[in-house]
Structure 1
């Protein structure tokens, strides 16, 4: 897989490509980001400003976090394409999840998080986003893509050689010159007279 294909929203990918080319590398990047952030925070003494190295670690962790968003969206959308579903489901999930986090933060800042009505509304919204996220998780991580072509492209599990074989195999099985053709002007012979036509023949003494 080239870098252009890795960053492109077009096409489909299977579960193995999703796990090995997108999910596991992003997990490794997240681990590096977490380690860099923890190191930068732990090195700063209370009441003292961070050094240039500590600030550099913070910038590096923020940059890696931003750069990892695009590949994760690309991989998830391609997996939805493999399931013959629109990639906008990933956009909807991301938008709703971000909106829920932002709304919860705003409510907490205004001190209304303990209001029963507000809390019930947030719980309902969180339940809806959770159901959508669970469905998306199963779609992109567990289920196999549609077999053969769909509206987003060919099956990623079928190699070009296999696709060519599937297209040409029925014709290749047919032997040349079969079925045999009758020579030009040839007609089938007329039925013989006196042949039994299905009724029992008369009895002779």
Structure 2
């Protein structure tokens, strides 16, 4: 398998099994990078960081004004100069962008397998992510409830489409079916009949009392 194409490129198709595998790879990478970050921070500052974790949804903090104001305040106060804060933030930024790239690349190829454009990531991923980050600020209960219902249905639809349904069983506009084909004979294809073998149908009978020797054609069994 071409792992560079599989994890980082956006063209082509992948089936359900490879999409599930990509999710497992992302989770393993998250655990590895979190452990590496904790070890690095411990070596640099002598103290392990506090709560730390990765989430692809953390990318939506970039469009959250309150999160940006909090980050700017920490920078002005010099808090980010501390190794116990700076090192985790660097790991978090690099790791989140890496995992987001892999998630987007594999998700778009899975959408291609369903004969859908990569723009379907907007209702399946972007809108639910924005709602999770900003939904508590909608204010009105009914408005928040309505948007929550719509977003929940979109997220469920995306989950079924990408994790549960098989891809197009033919070559679509994004490429050939990634599943191997089993060659089978079509019902309409005529059966090949065995060729007539003259030697197996003709035999020579030795001389005996009775008809003169010669070639006789064997008759089929009654």
Name structure 2 gaps, 5 residues minimum. Answer: 39-47, 53-78, 194-222
Is 2:132 the partner of 1:101?
yes
Q: CA deviation at 1:30?
A: 3.0
Tell me which residue corresponds to 1:149.
Answer: 171
2:91 to 60, 63, 68: 60
- TM-score of the superposition, structure 2-length normalised? 0.57
Q: Distance in 2 between matches of 1:101 and 1:16?
A: 28
Q: CA deviation at 1:29?
A: 2.7
Tell me which residue corresponds to 2:101.
Answer: 70
Residues 41, 136 of structure 1: alpha-carbon distance in 2 compared, 3 angstrom cutoff: same
Aligned length: 158
Tell me which residue corresponds to 1:7.
Answer: 8
- TM-score of the superposition, structure 1-length normalised? 0.62
Name structure 1 gaps, 5 residues minimum. Answer: 44-48, 176-205
SS in 1 for 2:49: helix
Tell me which residue corresponds to 1:40.
Answer: 49
Q: CA deviation at 1:34?
A: 5.5
> How large is the Cα RMSD of the aligned pairs?
3.6
Is 2:18 the partner of 1:17?
yes
Is 2:119 the partner of 1:88?
yes
Q: Distance in 2 between matches of 1:34 and 1:14?
A: 29
| Aligned partners of 1:33 and 1:62 also within 8 Å | no
Is 2:152 the partner of 1:130?
yes
